[in-house]
Structure 1
Amino acid sequence: AENLQRVSLHPLDQFRAFQTLHEQGLGEEEIAARFFVSVATVRQRLRLASVSPRLLDLYAEDEMTLEQIMAFSITNDHVRQEQVWDTISRSHSREPYYIRRLLTETAIRASDRRAVYVGIEAYEAAGGVTMRDLFDQDQGGWLQDPALLEQLVMEKLKTDAEAVQVSEGWKWVEAAFDFPYGHTSGLRRFYGEQAEMTEDELARYDATRAEYDKLDAEYAEASEYSDATEQKLEELGSELDRLNERPYVFDPQEVACGGVFVSLGASGELKIERGFVRAEDEPKDETDPSADDGNDSSDHGSELPAAQAAGGEGTQPDDEDETIKALPDRLVLDLTATRTVAMRNALANNPVIAFIAVLHAFVLKTFYVYGSDSCLEVTLQSARFSQTPGLGETVWAKEIDQRQEGWGQDLPKDPYDLWDFLIRLDEVSRQALFAHCASLSVNAVVEPWNKRTRAIAHAEQLIRSIGFDMAETGWTPTADNYLGRVTKARILQAVREAKGDQAAELIGHLKKADMAREAERLMTGCGWLPEPLRMTNGEGIIDSDAVGDAVGSDELGAISEAQDLPAFLLEEPETSDDDTGDTESGIGDEHLAAAE
């Protein structure tokens, strides 16, 4: 009977046997040799045996699966393990990925830029604990002490920022984990010049470039793929990049009144923004009357000699006086008014120069905050959105910053040289610079206290002309940017529109925070957009093509009363059904207006 009806051991018996041997002093290698398994298998079995005894008993009674036990093993906190089990045992979702998510929701991934910047070794040396998953790829694990990590980040940032200030001689330096988008608005920016190559570097660059071009041309004619050639081309390209990436040298006088912002980049590298001057640090011009009394020079009218001002308006020239006196103010006004009208007419007949003149005014406003004024009374305003979290890390904001940085390096340092620079610039570059400056003035933000109906209607026209779509640019709903900031009813509506009724029913029983995270997972890559981001068809009806193929046209909204306005602008605020019982925005409309 023993030989014919033998029943296999329960896996838990093996886990506990390994644990008993380990407690008796056997190493992982010895246990592996005794049972003819790998050392990694022994580590996994020992980790499984360290799960809460209560959960292991449930596993022994087949009330839990091995995959669930494996998910629970990423943490050694038995209390937390049992809390999560009690939570999921009352719900329909007991998948291992969901268990891992609940166990790590308060932890920080090792791939997070803060963890990369500080380093796992430094974090653990300071007493931090790292959770690891032996059964699945965890990209380095999870850091369980966010407060300790934040402290280490700020300490290292301050040290690095002080080192930059001391070594480069800046007047001030500001360090932060992250700065809000638009933090440099209102500050004058100056740029350094890239250091010239030495003779040795120039010779090495020319030789490397020639070798790269020759090898690339030969490889282009080859009929077979060559791993060695690919690697050699990559090495030569890296060498060329290294020679091109030379440091920038700044004017010592500018450095003495300028400053630096030091923060973390998206990949955990140190991000240093150099060359910003505050208004109070601007050098005073002795010939500028505004430096003495603080008034705008425009308040003084035309820059006329003091003798003319003494003459006063209406003073007639004295024919008997042989001395040449200053022209009367009124005469100067009339003459310059006549010239202005003539200039307007001439400029209207020269579209090329008119374009350059407007571009000149735009560039002065965009790149020379305290630069010379333009004779064109054209204003360029750029709204700030610093209150929107994470905006500076979006791919769109980074592209704008790269363009701003690139043009800032190319433009002349002195604003008085800008006109000649724009005249010499080729037409394609002029148009690109004009588009960059004009783009910074776009403001399609709907504010609670100002619906801006006409501006938003024009934004719709602009969107259609550009052929722009938020889903195509890569925007996707997440718990941070949308799903976690609306009511449960809105979350379910979004999932229903994007994935159908069945998907919405799967998460309908979850709490709001868990529902938002699960909705984010379900809706990834589906192309769904909330109403403020959807296109309209020009008649106030939301365009179903911009929402995604999974969205039915009967679920997209109704026709608005105003034909030129998106439907979402006419909706009344709804009452939240989440646990707090507050309105969806958290504050009533009348309170928002009063607070603003």
Structure 2
Amino acid sequence: MTQLPILVPAANLAKSPSNVRTVGDPVADAQLEANIAVKGVRQNLIGVPVSRKKGHYRIIAGGRRLDAVHRLIEKGVFDADYQLAVLVLGNAKDAIETSLEENFFNLTMNPADTCRAFQDIIESEKKTPEDVAKRFGLTERFVRSRLRLADLADPIFEALRNGEITLNVAVAYASNSDRTKQAEVFELLKDGYYRANVNEIKRQLVEDTYVGSDPKALLVGRDAYIEAGGRVDLDLFTDSTTERWIDGDLLNRLVADKLAAAAEALREREGLAEVRIIPSTHVTYNDTWDLRPLKGDTPELTAEQQARLEEIEAEIEAANEAWEDADEDGQTEQANRVEMLEAEYRAIEKPAPVLSEEQKAGALAYVVIGHDGQPRLHEQLYVAPVDEPDDEESGDQVEGEDDDDDDDDDVVAAPGKPAYSQRLSQELAEMKSELLRVHIASDPRFALDLGTFWMVDKATRHSGGFDLATELKADKPYSGLTGYQSGTLAAEEWGKIDEGLDRSWTEGGDVCQRYDAFCALPDEVRAAWLAWAIARTLHAVVAGKTGEAMIDHLGTKLEIDVAAWWRPTANNYFDRVSKAAILTHIEEIGGKELSSRYGGSKKHDLATSAEKIFGGTVPIEAELREAALAWVPDVMRFGTPVTAPEAVPANDESVTDAGDDLQQAA
């Protein structure tokens, strides 16, 4: 017959010396007590009778619950006669074994189950995170963190449930509430070297996101960002300065629009030839490396300014004398005064250069974002570049220009083609080489043949080899673009290839052990390393320079579809070429009828419209859209430039309607 528990007053119960648990956990005990205070004790205790003391029992299983009840009675939460259900053992000799069974086979809940349990309580019982925290003796922050885990992207949550990732890794993914971004980063890292690196996971998740105090966020404003469809990652512990704005692409577009408007206003007010926007707080060397600084005339000091300098010198001397006789607070006051006087002295002594109206009319300026989020004109002006006419049109050589070809020319141009700055030429060459690297790295057999040829061909020459556009060693070649990141699809794909390489052999010890570990890898793993090593040696070759023929030949053999991998945007192309060049490109796909509709557009607006046209993001006539999506500038093509796509006939309806749609979308 099965024995049933009996009700016994808590005052008649005490923990047995036979209880095997001797080390406690104050935090866990407090959580248990909080839960019992709300729900009571729902499990019976197990005890043995106390000899010569009828109705009293020693508890061998459930001692923590009993201690919690005793504390609650002392605090007045439970009455003094509070009773507990006790299953009484008939044989006291089983006490230690029973206590061990109670504690040894205890299994901690899977964090995934805890997350869903909290979520179910809140949804089914209409409770708040604060209610759940009180019931289980937890902090509200802990409960909310577990609820965020319950909203993880499905692949990540299942990995947590199956023990494939740790709780710390799951928490790192939960630091960003964008489930799509979570899934993308998880897919990128799950099989790579950084799959369990919490810092790398968080770094990947916050790419293209911004905190509310970022100058870009301050420039656009929270209301405008949200009104445009932007999302904000909020939790209980963030404020307007620490909250994270998830949709970085949207914020960057809003920033570009505001800076463009500010740039146009500044250009008109100051009478400048051109004002470019930099969506950052400063102008880098890479932005201006092919520009010539504009130097103004330093004005002579007026009599009033000279007199003020003498006054400041006297005031500084007096302040220094006062400092010697002052107390600590007075010394601080005098030191601050001296600092302000010295700053005023420097400002008067070295006035800002003054530019003539003629200089301004030929000047290029930059608009950046101040740390307070306000657009500001960068203090340094530059000589605005101008497109040089073709030799056939001008008939004259520009004064000071050398007849000979020079690898350091500032522009890359061909008859009838747009002129590219040295910076843009290098960037286009980098992006073109990225396409080639990705395709080489994705085709190990091709890479093996190519790599072997590169090595033996150079080895059999006494000198030379520059026309191979590569290095004999698998070193990454030098690039003149410091800190440059293209952000292209090919760059993302290269990152995935790099992350997917098996790096286990790098932990093998000394060089011989690492070599043996590498040789023990499967053929396909070693082949992937070979393809990666060969691909990364590829040089970026500017159009018209030595090695271009080899670059184009390889891209042709790999049948790279440039248009599918790279699209021209305002940032990487259209903002970097002249307005006339953009109109020419539009004419190539839609004829003069379409290009003429944009002739009156401002440069920035035209670049934005061109990005949408050639990105296929506006509703336009099917033939026109197909031609736009297939177009890339000749400098980005592999092999002999192809004939431009045939312009869509300029009938009265199709081109006209398409142009109207494009202008409206822009």
Tell me the TM-score normalized by structure 2: 0.38
**Which structure would you say has the larger Rg?**
2
